[in-house]
Structure 1
Amino acid sequence: MKMKKISLVVALILAGFATNDVVVHADDHKKEDKKYEKYKEYKEYKEYDDDDDDDDYEEEYYYKDEKEGETYYYQDAVTEKGTWNIWTQTVAADKEVLPFTNSQKVTVKVEGTNKEQSLFVIPKDGEFFVPGKMVAEVLGAKATFYKASKILDIQDQANELIFRAGTNVVYDNKVKTPSPAQAFYVNEELYVPISTITNGLGYIAEWQENNQTFICQPIMK
């Protein structure tokens, strides 16, 4: 009888350890789930973290060229004149004078369609900055803005552009590419250079002074 009591006590102690173990693991899973919920908004964009030392491009770039089985690296001299509506994907040494220099409300219209949008444009650093989400949508692309991380993801059938506030980097179809100026966040919008977003989606913008409109024309390939 005594041995049965001892066995019962041992069994209860072991059962207690097993129960405690299960409870601890369950709590751990709840904590991990909460962490996941907190960061899931931008968990897919770890490669665009602030810790990335290459977020900002310098004025010199190196390009790789392959010929006859050998690899050559050469430096772009960046001598071309920068224009506000052409995304050269380099830092231009000289910027063209903008058609206007004061922030104002304008219209963005797609040539040959009834697609148009009234928006606020900001001339800055030799570029015209426009609200990226609004321009993307008028050009027929889907735009998702992640407010916590200030990331704008733009996609259409053929292209994907990813911008982040405070950087002069654009991920163009997953390729890290220099932008002519830094995107910035203001008035609940991420502002990006008009050349980058229009060219990246297959358009070029032309300014019409008489009706204060940017006309977006498809780039002929």
Structure 2
Amino acid sequence: MSDGQERAWVELAPAYLIDVARGVAETSVHPDARFDPAEVYGRTAPLIVEVGSGQGHAIIAAALARPDADFLAVEVFRAGLARTMLDAEREGARNIRVIEANAPEVLTTFVPEASVSELWVFFPDPWHKNKHTKRRLVTEEFAEAAARAITAGGMLRMATDWEDYARGMRVALDASPHFERAFEGDWAERFEGRVMTAFERKGIRAGRDIRDLAYRRVG
């Protein structure tokens, strides 16, 4: 991390960083660790979670636009979380918290069941080489974890600039009995709550189409 990010990690962590008991790895979550949104945010409000929040550009913009909601940024790269805390502090986004942790563990055990109003997965690592595609985040197993966390009627929103990954996402979510499509045709309209980030610009410059998907939690 840069010197500024190192300082942010120390100085801003008490206000923004969720300290979590670890499992076997430094970004794992202990199976007994639990998250109480009302205690953490000091109120009861819709909870929006972004998995793979990167530098935090999308979630900070959303937190500023939606002061009525609480936001949780989930990321494994410390530098990105440090930048998120710095920008949140500068912009005055007090309704955001960050956690350095593996997303599947956050969704399967850490957050309360049916507590998430919206779950966002925007431009996850595509692992575009054939030998690496098994590392992709959004799979049928991820759909199960997401279903546990998202409340009935809640939304799972995804976007990627890699067509084969988008198709794989769609296959995984279409196969889940816990979700239904919230779009018509092949792809969802661009989510108006998603700001343009460096990842999206990079995909556009490379000539790749951006594909959105939106699914509603049922049952």
TM over 0.5: no
Please identify the structure whose Cα radius of gyration is greater: 1
Range of TM-score over shorter length: under 0.3
Hey, which of these two has a bigger chunk of helix by percent?
2
- The one of the two structures with greater contact order (alpha-carbon pairs below 8 A, sep at least 6) is 2
TM-score of the aligned structures, taking structure 2 as reference length: 0.25
Hey, which of these two has a bigger chunk of strand by percent?
1
